[in-house]
């Protein structure tokens, strides 16, 4: 009889003890339980209406994408000493992984490519107009490995990178 009573009381004691322990933890915790926290419902509020002219429909990146490379020229600030220094910093941040710190196409990532990335000091690359180089950096090379970086690198910084690469000259 005692055995049956212990078998019946043991689960009840365990359940009551677990309930007591969880209640104690709830009272000690600084955060509430999930069912007690307010729900986040972002789509229940009305959408904001944008004022006319908020989204540009002309100018900006669209002009550069549609322009011919020959018509694109350096902004004045890009060719300055500060622009070229900024271009070197941008090159080391975005380009050196593939083209290498010596601009020869032997970067850490570029070594795994076949063929290797272009030597930026080659006569072929240095002969490109600044506009053509800008478009290749910005929108990629069709059929090539150069990724489009227009959404990664700001417009002015792309021009400074072009000025830096052009300042390197042809490898001797």
Determine the Cα–Cα distance for residues 12 and 20; give it in Å rounded to an integer: 12
Distance CA 134, CA 138 (A): 6
Compute the mean pLDDT over every residue in the chain, rounded to the nearest whole number. Answer: 85
Q: Is 154 strand, coil or helix?
A: coil
CA 79 to chain centre: 26
Q: Summarize pLDDT for 7-60 with one digit per residue, the tens.
A: 888 999 999 998 888 887 777 766 656 666 666 666 777 777 878 777 766 667
Q: What domains are defined for the chain?
A: 65-168 (1.10.760.10)
Span 142-167, average pLDDT:
91
More confident residue, 76 or 93: 93
């Amino acid at each position: 009889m005692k055995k049956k009573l212990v078998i019946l009381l043991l689960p009840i004691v365990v359940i009551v003890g677990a309930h007591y322990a969880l209640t104690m933890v709830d009272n000690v915790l600084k955060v509430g339980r999930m069912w007690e926290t307010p729900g986040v419902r972002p789509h229940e509020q009305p959408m904001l209406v944008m004022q006319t002219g908020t989204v540009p429909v002309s100018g900006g990146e669209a002009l550069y994408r549609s322009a011919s490379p020959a018509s694109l020229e350096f902004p004045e600030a890009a060719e300055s000493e500060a622009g070229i220094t900024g271009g070197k910093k941008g090159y080391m941040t975005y380009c050196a992984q593939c083209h290498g710190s010596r601009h020869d196409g032997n970067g850490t990532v570029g070594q795994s490519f076949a063929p290797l990335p272009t030597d930026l000091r080659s006569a072929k690359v240095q002969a490109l107009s600044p506009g053509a180089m800008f478009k290749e950096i910005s929108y990629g090379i069709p059929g090539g490995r150069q990724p489009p970086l227009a959404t990664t690198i700001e417009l002015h910084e792309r021009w400074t990178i072009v000025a830096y690469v052009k300042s390197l000259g042809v490898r001797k």
